[in-house]
Structure 1
Amino acid sequence: LAMLSRATAGIRGKTLIINLPGSPKAALECLEVFLPVMNHAVETLRGDAFECAQAGARD
């Protein structure tokens, strides 16, 4: 999991940018962690996710 501590990602417009490690094995390990949540991340960027808590929202 050390490779996750150095991971960087960002958003430009409505594009999710993920920086993967250079080693094929490490890149695959990162993708195995990221792929299960990728659909939700894309939905959130598009504004289609309805099951997200709003940052700073209060009841």
Structure 2
Amino acid sequence: MNFGSLSLDFQVLFYSSAIFGADRMKSDIRMVINQKFIENNTTIPFPQMDVHIKSDR
């Protein structure tokens, strides 16, 4: 969908005829995607912040 500052933002669409359990299904799909990332050595970067402390001494 987009390139974030430190990410690739995507949308996953799926269809299910099941009426109940959609939240569980979404979670299961996310877990499979995460497992595929791990299997393929794909890392997700996290934003980093550097803190510089100045001293007036």
TM norm. shorter chain > 0.5: no
- State the structure with more CA Rg: 2
Query: Which TM-score band applies after superposition, normalised by the shorter structure?
Result: under 0.3
More helix by share: 1
Q: Which has the larger strand fraction? A: 1
Higher relative contact order (CA 8 A, sep 6+): 2
Q: Report the TM-score, using the length of structure 1 for normalisation.
A: 0.26
